[in-house]
Structure 1
Amino acid sequence: MLTLYRRHFSPRTGGYIACAAVFVLTMLPAFALFDGESALRAIQQRGFLTVHTRTSPTIYYEGRRGPAGFEYALARRFADHLGVSLNLKADHHLEDVLPAVRAHGDLGAAGLVLTPTVPGIGFTRPIIEMQPLVVYRRGLNGIQGPEDLVGLEIATLRDAKGAGTSASLRDLQQTYPGLGWKESGELEVADLLAQVENGQLDAAVVFAHQFRVNRLFFKNVERGFTLGRPSSLAWAVPARQSSDLLRQANRFLRGLEQSGELSALVKRYFGHDDYLEYVGTRTFLKHLDSRLPRYRALFQQAARGTGFDWQLLAAVGYQESHWDADAVSPTGVRGLMMLTSPTAREMNVADRRDPAQSIDGGARYLRHLEKRLPDSITGDDRLFMALAAYNVGLGHLYDARDIAQMRGGDPDRWADVREALPLLQQRQWYEKTRHGYARGGEPVIYVRNIRRYHEMLQYVERSRQQFFQLEQNDSDATHSDALMPFDLVPPLN
């Protein structure tokens, strides 16, 4: 019996769920579905491609803006290429993926290292290179080369065949026999980095692109040195399906590479690791003078309609797009306030790239989120949680409040929820929640940045008003009509 999976996403299971079309294929021999030459035909006949994956910021996760992640983006394109829906099985650990592919098919896309000797598995052509990297806890001095790892508490991830980062450590051990480490097939990169951060580990070995994506959330983890030769990321299919499905996957990946789309996706997901960083004062002031004047009146109008401080709304807009009305995110979110398509529809925004509609819609959406919070959350705590929900989604914010309470904190205090949000990146915590994994470190940085931008806007506004008042007082005192050596800057209001 087969169930047709249509494109209806379930955030609770991390996959697409069936929409009731069930067919009993009693007349078709079981082996026919998995015969090498008919596997692709079977996928197209049933209308969906099953992909075994895992939840990780570099692979797949469910964010406020919908499913995301580099390999999710590739898998979705491949399913579209085949003309079928995508059925994600995202509840695997790293070491579980290949056995699941071997036993159930169709495809494994989970940060897998190309290992040609794995029995019963066929791998696609390389997708990207993955360079093993040593990272260590800030404060440990002298971690400059492999010899400095001996005697440290080190850990890495383990896949089904010990490939990838653990293989690099095994190779190194041949030269440094005193080197020891821990391996886990049930943790994720964020779990390792958290243990380095809190002192449970001295160092870890991860892939460089994984650290690049996670580094903002672990300020006490330092980049060390590369280890060994790069591995290749690849997809896996059961060997019995390799003849047609593998050939089609390779054709698809080759086409992405030749068209430049693969390079664009790599740059989109891994090329910028500082998009949530707090920009320098000089850059901010430059944009304040060159961009904000175009939109100041729109922010003030939206503030009058929603009751927010216009400078707060401007700070949100700067964090979202740097006041760029044509901004587009990797996941297709666009406009000055970076509204998703569902949010735009909910807020009756017809054109997300229209600055007036975007600012008005973003302000109303922030107020909508704030009103949905429990009445027990008050004051600045309420504002900061609404801002966090604007970034990560209300469901994940509620999950963080639950975690804060599990840890003995107050779910109504931003300080406690702020500590809980990054735990949504760790399996031991997100498995206990309703909505699952989230890049919980992002809303913490997001709120911090907005608060800083807001403070800077207020500071500049106060400074300009004070300067203007001083000039006026000086002019009144001297009764002089002489030309000033510069143009006077009027107050913003």
Structure 2
Amino acid sequence: MPTLIYAHFLAHIRLYLTLFIITLLILAPTLPKVPHGEHLTHIQAKDFITAQTRNTPTTYYEGRQGPTGFEYELMHQFAEYLGVSLNLNAKHHPESVLSAVREQGDFGAAALPLLPDASDVHYTRPIIQMQPLLVYRRGLHGIKAPSDLVGLEIGTLSQAGTSEALRELQRDYADLSWKESHELDVDELLVQVESGVLDAAVIFDHQFRLNRLFFPNVERGFLMGDPLSMVWALPRGRGLGLLEAANDFLQTLQENGTLDHLVNRYFGHDDYLEYVGTRTFLTHLDARLPQFADLFKQAARDTGFDWKLLAAVGYQESHWDAEAVSPTGVRGVMMLTHPTASEMGVDNRRDAAQSIDGGARYLRSLKDRLPESITGDDRLYMAMAAYNVGLGHLYDARKITEELGGDPNRWQDVREALPLLQQQEWHSQTRHGYARGGEPVIYVRNIRRYYEMLEYVEHSRQQFFQLGQTATGGSLLLPFELIPPLDQ
């Protein structure tokens, strides 16, 4: 009897299981599903994709020729790859980028590190490797090993990935401590190191290479931990179509060399604003300037500038190289952007005559467009700064100058405000946002130095001729031993 009861029980179980499976099969088509490409389909239907990003030099900012930045170029190309336009939401720090991706979409691109604990977002394939780097204030001696960091005031950015290297180090040095901030950015962190608020900071190597010239009192220390992968983030739960499209796009750029080209453009050149020493300058003066001197003199006659000033601008821009192409795509002796060249009627930026003429007229137009309240050398220096960073950012700096109680018509005051455009506290209040504000300060300073050397050479040459002598070899120069050093 027990056997019959058990068999009867099993029969009922089989019946119930069969009915349950049949029910599932019947109801399955009506259960909600996430289509494989729902997110991608939605983006294509609205005809634009929104990137949650940051206003920083390595990601996105308004540059000399409009929107620029390493990830901006990738984002822009990705939008074209999808056949839609690009919409940017750039008022973020790393932590808020991920929150915006989760809550709003469509994807996040802001030097995001691949971290294992973000299970509520999808990450793309790696874009580039980011190596954590310890930097410290000049004057602190003996910062050569991790053990030297104990007791120092160290800062880093939260959610940027750099704190991972510090946590790994803390396993061996329990007394190691640091501060994390989600409100600062890399530039502001370096300001704190330079000013003494912090002794050291951990950032990424490529970030320091982009910013080192603006912070001469910050020294490169040593690499820390393993490299991290820069990735993009996408929301979960909306299908895999957009993720697959992003991965296909990034893989294509990696395979065809475009990604390496962009990396080299943005992170492979960190010496654009370096001041070239006297001997190097004089070598170029002898070898290169003679072929352009008459063009600079003609442009000076047409625009009212001193030809030596135009030559100094040309040297800062290209080292008098008609074939020069900058990391951001400007080209020619005067490094004109494509929009500027079009505005000035220049159809071949590599033609030295057109480039020098167009650059001189553009500098004249900038000087003429400045407010009449700016006069004398101040007007010239601000025009040169605008040639480098754009009028919009210059006006933003003048506004900050006023807020700080300075005179917006004096270059000496405005040059103090320009670097503040690199700090989120200040650029968030401006019309044109982030700018590498330290760059036009160095740019104008370098041009003034090159101009001083050209002035000295011409003056000394005239004296030599008055004495019935000629410059060595018939060149434009005196022997460089006679030129006083201007490198300091």
Range of TM-score over shorter length: 0.7 to 0.9
Percent of residue pairs bearing the same amino acid type: 68
Measured in 2, the distance between the counterparts of 1:323 and 1:490 equals 15
The alpha-carbon distance between structure 1 residues 51 and 74, as it changes in their structure 2 partners (threshold 3 A), is same
Matched, 1:120 2:151: no
> CA 1:212/1:241 → structure 2, altered by over 3 Å: closer, same or farther?
farther
Give the count of matched residue pairs: 447
Q: Say if 2:423 is the partner of 1:429.
A: no
Deviations 1:66-119 (A, max 9, x none): 111111111111111111111111111111001111111111110000124312
Question: Hey, what does 1:107 align to over in structure 2?
Answer: 107
Quote the offset at 1:282 in angstroms. Answer: 2.5
Measure the CA separation in 1 of the matches of 2:238 and 2:186: 31
In structure 1, the residue matched to 2:290 is 293
Deviation at residue 489 of structure 1 after TM alignment: 4.3
1:198 aligns to what?
Answer: 195
Aligned residue type for 2:200: A
Partner residue in 2 for 1:339: 336
Residues 151 and 489 of structure 1: CA distance in aligned 2, closer, same or farther (over 3 Å): closer
Report the CA distance shift for 1:244/1:263 in structure 2 as closer, same or farther (over 3 A).
same
The match for 1:282 among 261, 279, 282 is: 279
Deviation, 1:157, is 0.3
Bigger CA radius of gyration: 2
Does the CA-based 8 Å contact 1:468-1:490 persist in structure 2? no
Task: Report the alpha carbon displacement of residue 472 of structure 1 after superposing the two structures with TM.
Answer: 4.4
Kept in 2: contact 1:465–1:491 (CA 8 A): no
Q: CA deviation at 1:242?
A: 5.5
Q: What is the Cα-based RMSD across aligned positions, in Å?
A: 1.9
Moved more, 282-291 or 231-240: 282-291
Output the CA distance in 1 between the equivalents of 2:351 and 2:340.
Answer: 15
Verify: 1:70 aligned to 2:108, yes or no: no
Name whichever of 374-383 and 266-275 sits farther off.
374-383
User: Hey, what does 1:45 align to over in structure 2?
Assistant: 45
Higher mean Cα deviation, 359-368 or 442-451? 359-368
| Structure 2 residue 300 is the aligned partner of structure 1 residue 303 | yes
Distance 1:280 1:82 in 2: 48
Which blocks of at least 5 consecutive residues in structure 2 are unaligned? 1-31, 479-488
Which of residues 460, 463, 468 in structure 2 aligns to 1:466?
463
Q: Which amino acid aligns with 2:59?
A: I
Q: Which amino acid aligns with 1:42?
A: H
Correspondence for 2:241 among 244, 247, 268:
244
Q: Does 1:176 align with 2:180?
A: no
Provide the residue aligned with 1:23 in structure 2: none
- The change in CA–CA distance for 1:343 and 1:187 in structure 2 (over 3 A counts) is same
1:91 corresponding residue in structure 2: 91
- For residue 394 of structure 2, what is the aligned residue in structure 1? 397
Separation (CA, whole Å) in 2 of partners of 1:57 and 1:463: 43
Aligned pair in 2 of structure 1 residues 211, 490: CA closer, same or farther (>3 Å)?
Answer: closer
In structure 1, the partner of 2:413 is 416
3-state SS in 1 of match to 2:117: coil
Matched, 1:314 2:325: no
Question: What code does the residue aligned with 1:278 have?
Answer: Y
Instruction: Give the CA deviation at 1:345.
Output: 2.4
Do the aligned partners of 1:122 and 1:242 also contact (CA within 8 Å) in 2? no
Contact preservation (8 Å) 2:170, 2:176? yes
2:373 paired residue number? 376
Verify: 1:263 aligned to 2:260, yes or no. Answer: yes
Give, as a single letter, the amino acid of the residue that structure 2 aligns with 1:210.
Answer: Q
Letter in 1 for 2:384: L
TM-score normalised to the size of structure 1? 0.87
CA change 1:472–1:434 in 2 (3 A) is same
Q: Distance in 2 between matches of 1:108 and 1:294?
A: 49
**Shift in alpha-carbon separation, 1:132–1:398, aligned structure 2, 3 A:** same
1:187 to 184, 188, 193: 184
Distance 2:73 2:289 in 1: 34
Deviation track 1:6-61 (CA, whole Å, cap 9, x = no partner) reads: xxxxxxxxxxxxxxxxxxxxxxxxx99x7442222222222112111001101111
What is the CA-CA distance between 1:471 and the residue it aligns to? 3.7
Equivalents in 2 of 1:491, 1:247: separation in Å?
A: 61
| CA offsets 1:415-439 (integer angstroms, 9 cap, x no match) | 1111111010000111122211100
Matches of 2:229 and 2:431, distance apart in 1: 34
Cα 1:371–1:471 change in 2 (3 A) is same
Going from structure 1 to structure 2, the CA distance change for 1:205 and 1:239 (only over 3 Å counts) comes to same
> 1:236 and 1:175 mapped to 2: Cα distance?
32
> Is the Cα–Cα contact under 8 Å of residues 468 and 488 in structure 1 kept in the other structure?
no
Question: How far is the alpha carbon of 1:490 from its aligned partner?
Answer: 6.7
- Give the Cα separation in 1 of the matches to 2:475 and 2:205: 48
Range 324-333 or range 367-376, more displaced: 324-333
Q: State the partner residue of 1:132.
A: 132
Aligned position for 1:54: 54
Give the unaligned 5+ runs of structure 1.
1-30, 474-483
Distance 2:397 2:239 in 1: 43
8 A Cα contact 2:55 2:433, kept in partner: no
